[in-house]
A and B are shown apart, each in its own frame.
Chain A
Amino acid sequence: MAKAINKAVISNVTTNKLYPAYKTKKGTIIQLNSKKTGLPTGPTLTALVKFVDTSGLKTVLVTGGYESKGHSKNSYHGKNLAIDVAGKRFNKLTHTKVRSSATKAGFTHGIYENFKGTKRDHWHLQIGAGNGLGAKQSLKSYAIGTKNY
């Protein structure tokens, strides 16, 4: 998504225009899965940068961000308050690590959607409760739950 980026926070390191990529000041690559995936802005971009910088990975594949179109009504993606992080097949992360990094970064609620036998698995992380995520998905109170399909 062609948006002005906050160069104080990240720089554009895209090599294939179909797959935008950004580098944080600490050197972590935020690799988007598509030009459809919108880079968050403002506090959510700050949270994303903190998340990837504390993830322990050099590159984090992000599959959802600030998208105004295509999501369900009231989606936190459309409100610039959510990200999707590609699942364990792409990002070698554990629920514990994701919870720890996400909480430090400012995300408050999350869930892992596990589409068995596919590449669609992902962590959904958002700021604030709502749109399907409530107290039981609070990152502060509970381990990240997995919803299997």
Chain B
Amino acid sequence: MLRALFFTLLTLIATPACSECALTDTSYANSGGGETSTTLMLHTNNTFTLMHKTWQPGHYDKQKKSISKGNWSCNHEQLTLKINDNALTAKITTVGSNPLGINEKAKALSFGPNTITTLDYLANEILYPKSLVSD
């Protein structure tokens, strides 16, 4: 009995919180094809760096860049980004059949229509594992 209890406790202790998280990558980006670029880096210390670039058509070299930093957490299929007192969530979703040639089984971050003012560019955005959209 004690032995069973010991192993049960050991299993629970050894299961890190991240095992409940469906994230597959630490670096995400939008698919592109326009005059904007968004990348999200999820750092191991649960901080994130979000970079958003915009430019006029034909003037990528004169891009404007904004960088936001905060904390992230993950629970099953939900990623939460927190900046100051504001929180924003994304659903970690399997992309399925898509017109971009991305593996259907890939898991992307799908943001909803409602976002926080400073990150309004994330409204309805989909961020893919960067390795899948960077080539």
Contact = CB atoms under 8 A, between A and B. Distances in A.
Given A19-B99, A119-B135, A70 B120 contact: yes
A111 B58 contact: yes
Secondary structure at chain B's binding surface: helix, strand, loop or mixed?
Answer: loop
B54 A18 contact: no
Contacts of A15: 97
B68 interface: no
Interface stretch (B26-34, B39-47, B74-82): B26-34
Contacts of B121: 69-70
Interface residues of B, number: 39
Interface in A20-76: 21, 31, 33-37, 59, 61, 63-64, 69-72, 75
User: Taking each of B59, B124, B135, which has the highest tally of chain A beta carbons within 10 Å of its own beta carbon?
Assistant: B124
Contact of A133 (B32, B36, B57, B133): B57
Contacts of B37: 120
Interface stretch (A5-13, A84-92, A100-108): A84-92
A87 B33 contact: yes
B49 to A, nearest CB: 18
B99 A35 contact: no
Interface residues of A, number: 46
Interface of A: 1-2, 15-16, 18-19, 21, 31, 33-37, 59, 61, 63-64, 69-72, 75, 77, 82, 84, 86-87, 90, 111, 113, 115, 117-122, 124, 126, 131-133, 137, 145, 147, 149
7 contacts: A21-B99, A34-B31, A75-B54, A84-B35, A117-B135, A133-B56, A133-B58
